[in-house]
A and B are shown apart, each in its own frame.
Chain A
Amino acid sequence: MSAEVFWQSLVNGLMMGMIYVLIALGLTLLYSIMHIVNFAHGEIYMLGGFVSYYLVTQLEFNYFVSLPVTMGVLFVAGIILEKLFFSRVRGNFMHCLLLTLGISLIFQSLGWTFFGTEDVSIPSPISGVFKFGGIFIPKQRILSALIGFLLVGLLYLLIAKTKIGRHMRSIEQDSEASELFGVNINLVNMVALGIGFALAAIGGALIGSIFVLNPSIGLVPMLKAFVIIIMGGLGSIGGCILAGLLLGIIDSVVATLLGANLAYVVAFAILILIIIIRPRGFLGHA
């Protein structure tokens, strides 16, 4: 492998990693606050892609406007689902698990019915590539990575600096004690689910302009998101970012060096090693 190809695959991996981070952050947020392992996360990601696609292609929204609108739509969908379903099974891990599996299957089936079987792609707002030496970087990927970076920063600020963020952290540590101190658990859970859905949705909207969309696209990103949150440490934003970027690089560099199938082998081998050597992940709590 030449140096050019190596650097190209490294840069590509970092950019893809940033989008994985977004998807995984939503998942880790839901786990740490609501203790939900959300198997429907891939379908929310898919829905986000399609919402953005229809906003841009049918309603002629500007792509950049479609992104916050998509997040808003899925945020509201998250709140509604929390109110209707998740609040009723809160605290029961198995019920939550089955609920998310059911939602996943329903959304995917509805996806085939309403979105059809053909692949579609969100028209990229910018085209072309930046060329640095021998490295080509599509502008759309850079844009997506930057948006991802910005959103991760905003999420950090929300959790670290705002009242709702403090409440989220307190629930993560001890939900009963938080409630005794006046934290509105219902509200925090609704907001957390909404944010988790919105993050997955924006991931889908960003990916939809780089790759293609169809109702089955959610599975692989969801699996990757699970790998990331376990590698990074459940509930840890920093760990999630670290693991996401690492997985993006492994995916890209190993696949370029040895082929796509071996990239999966290497990623899962590292995951197994981490589970054995450091079960709490890179930056997870003990």
Chain B
Amino acid sequence: MEKLIKSIMVGFIGAFLLFSIFVVPSLAQEDVFKFISIAPLSGPAAGWGIPANRSYQYIFDDYMKKGGLLVGGKRYKFELIQYDNKYQTSETMTLLNKAIFGDKVKFLSVMGQHNCVVAAPICETNKIIHLAFASGGEELTNPKFSFTYRMMNSNSIGPILYYPELMKQFGVKTIALVNPDDEGGYTTAKVDKRIAGVLDPSPNIIAEEYYVRGTQDFTPVILRVMAKKPDLIDMGISSPGDTGLFLKQLGEAGYTGLHMNSASIVTTDVVWKAAGKYAKGHFVIGAFAEPPTPEYEAFTKRYLKDFGGTAVPILSYDGYECVKALLMAIEKANTFDSTVVNDTLGNLSWTSLFGPARWMGKEKILGYGINRSFSHPYPMSRIGEGGKVEKWMLKDLPLEK
């Protein structure tokens, strides 16, 4: 028996040595393009992080069908490294340092406005192309952060395009802003107030409330807001989970006015799961009721087939397109030198799942001074029965020459 155990142990050690000598070096020698995603994979914002990572994997899979990423005559495979920042800045900083100085990557993505704002200067210093999955305003998109690309429409776009429409069609005069109590929330409220002030006619922002992300009982916030009798409650950058719970309690408290998310792209079925009938009629930015292109439709079918559900989380499309743009820029620049890729990427316009896409920011009403914010035709839809996305309007920010 003792002999048998000894033989098994010797066998294991031998197999381990053979693996170390022959297999490990061959893995290390492979040409691999590493991309790191720092996103919430647990907690209330996981409904954003998980679909984003799925979309990155999709574009990598699509490139692999073509043989991989072609740079300098060589084909590169992909490695998507997924880190969970729990939607917290402290976690993000730790993971960002690990990514830059440990994993030594030059291309990464960070999720969450509050996280991206702190990641941007570090990425700038180290010349890391930073795909920022965040809404927000000039705090993130400005000439100081030329390596940072916002992967979704700026959160100015919702108010710029749709506050006037809501005023015109529903007679909205007063708006209450409800946002999470963090950098993203404060920035969103600041942007909304600035845009409201610039618009003509101008809506009156009568309340500004903040809550801690993951709050369970919104009733105190709701009571404060309802006391001001707003025509519209704009939940700005709130996550799908927080939005759903807020709407449920808002409806139960007897509110019958309009409500919307003007900045964050919320997954409508997540909102519906929490709020049920009280989610009906909620205005959601960025959610398409009808596919804008056949490619968008194909993406939707593919996602639903792979992951189930009734609707594709809207930011999956953004994630797919922005990483696609990065890969296009790398291939076009024919190098992994992030400075060269940055120049190419910043000037890129391409055909996306949404239709024509580009980077915006230099437009006067935005005033960012640099084109680093993803721009494409951007709808405002409404949540229908069962979380279904219902068509309302589709507008695009006009290109300024």
Complex contacts, A5 vs chain B, CB 8 Å: 223-224, 226-227
- Given A5-B227, A136-B254, A212-B244: A117 and B216 interface contact (C-beta under 8 Å): no
The B201-257 residues at the A interface (CB cut-off 8 A) are: 210-212, 214-217, 219-221, 223-224, 226-227, 241, 244-245, 248-249, 252-254
Check A119 against B219 for contact (C-beta < 8 Å).
Answer: no
Contact of A118 among B226, B254, B270 (CB under 8 A): B270
Known: A119-B244, A214-B44, A261-B181. A220 touches B227 (CB 8 A): no
Contact between A117 and B273 (Cβ–Cβ < 8 Å)?
A: no
* Residue of B217, B224, B245, B273 with most chain A CB atoms under a 10 A cut-off: B217
**What is the interface of chain B mostly: helix, strand, loop, or mixed?**
helix
Provide the residues of chain A in CB contact with B244, threshold 8 Å: 119, 121, 212
B172 interface hit (Cβ, 8 Å): no
A138 to B: closest C-beta gap in Å = 4
CB within 8 Å for A117 and B181 given contacts A256-B220, A263-B220: no
Q: Which of A15-60 contact B (CB under 8 A)?
A: 16
Closest chain B CB from A262 CB (angstroms) = 10
Nearest CB in chain B to that of A4: its residue: B227
Complex: A216 Cα to B274 Cα, angstroms: 16
Contacts of B67 in A (CB 8 A): none
* B223–A9 CB distance below 8 A: yes
The verdict on A100 contacting chain B, using a C-beta distance below 8 Å, is no
Interface pair A211/B217, CB less than 8 Å apart: yes
Q: Are A119 and B42 in contact (CB under 8 A)?
A: no
Residues of B within 8 A of A123 (CB): 276
- B50, B216, B273, B277: the one within 8 Å of A211 (CB): B216
**How many residues on A have C-beta within 8 angstroms of the other chain's C-beta atoms?**
36
Q: What separation, in Å, do the CA atoms of A119 and B46 have in the docked complex? A: 9
A132 to chain B, nearest CB (A): 12
Report the interface size class on chain B.
35 or more
A120 within 8 A of B: yes
Contact of A16 among B41, B217, B274, B276 (CB under 8 A): B217
Q: Which residues of A contact B248 (CB under 8 A)?
A: 121
How many angstroms between the C-alpha atoms of A127 and B42 in the bound complex?
A: 30
Knowing A256-B220, A256-B224, the reply to whether A119 touches B252 (Cβ < 8 A) is no
Which chain A residues numbered 236 to 252 have a C-beta less than 8 Å away from chain B?
A: 251-252
Of B41, B215, B219, which one neighbours A117 at CB under 8 angstroms? B41
Chain B window 318-358, contacts with chain A (Cβ cutoff 8 Å), 1 for yes, 0 for no? 00000000000000000000000000000000000000000
Residues on A with C-beta less than 8 A from B217 are 12, 16, 211, 251-252
Docked CA distance A138–B224 (Å): 17
User: Complex formed: what's the CA distance from A54 to B236 in Å?
Assistant: 32
- A112, B223: Cα distance in complex, Å: 33
| Per-residue contact bits, chain B 133-162, to A (CB 8 Å; 1 contact, 0 not) | 000000000000000000000000000000
Minimum CB–CB distance for A8 against chain B, Å: 6
Contact across chains for A220 and B274 when beta carbons are under 8 A apart: no
In contact, B221 and A131 (Cβ under 8 angstroms) = no
Within the complex, the shortest CB–CB distance from B276 to chain A, in Å, comes to 8
Contact check: which of A119, A211, A217, A255 meets B220 at CB < 8 Å?
A255
Bitwise, A48-86 to B at CB < 8 A (1) or not (0) is: 000000000000000000000000000000000000000
Q: In whole angstroms, how far apart are the Cα atoms of A75 and B165 in the complex?
A: 56
Quick one: closest A residue to B277, CB to CB?
Answer: A127
Closest chain-B Cβ to A236's Cβ sits at a distance in Å of 26
Would you list which residues of chain B between 261 and 279 have a CB under 8 Å from chain A? 270, 273-274, 276-277
Pairwise interchain contact A121-B273, C-beta atoms closer than 8 A:
yes
A129 to B254, CA, bound (A): 8
Question: With A16-B217, A212-B274, A261-B212 in contact, is A119–B245 under 8 Å at CB?
Answer: yes
* Cβ-defined contact, B212 with A117, below 8 A: no
- Given the interface pairs A118-B47, A119-B244, the reply to whether A136 lies near B220 with Cβ below 8 Å is no
* Residues of A contacting B214 in the complex (Cβ-Cβ under 8 angstroms): 216
- Indicate whether A112 sits within 8 Å of B227 (C-beta atoms), given known contacts A16-B217, A117-B47, A121-B273: no
Closest 3 CB pairs of A and B: A255-B220, A117-B46, A138-B252
* Sample of 9 further A-B pairs with CB below 8 A, known A12-B219, A119-B44, A263-B220: A9-B219, A16-B217, A118-B241, A119-B245, A129-B254, A136-B254, A211-B216, A214-B43, A216-B43
Interface residues of chain B, those whose CB is within 8 Å of chain A, are 41-44, 46-47, 50, 181, 210-212, 214-217, 219-221, 223-224, 226-227, 241, 244-245, 248-249, 252-254, 270, 273-274, 276-277
A-B residue pairs in contact (CB < 8 Å), sample of 6: A5-B226, A119-B245, A119-B274, A129-B253, A217-B216, A256-B220
Chain A residues close to B by CB (< 8 Å): 1-2, 5, 8-9, 12, 16, 112, 117-121, 123, 127, 129, 131, 136, 138, 140-141, 207, 211-212, 214, 216-217, 220, 251-252, 255-256, 259-261, 263
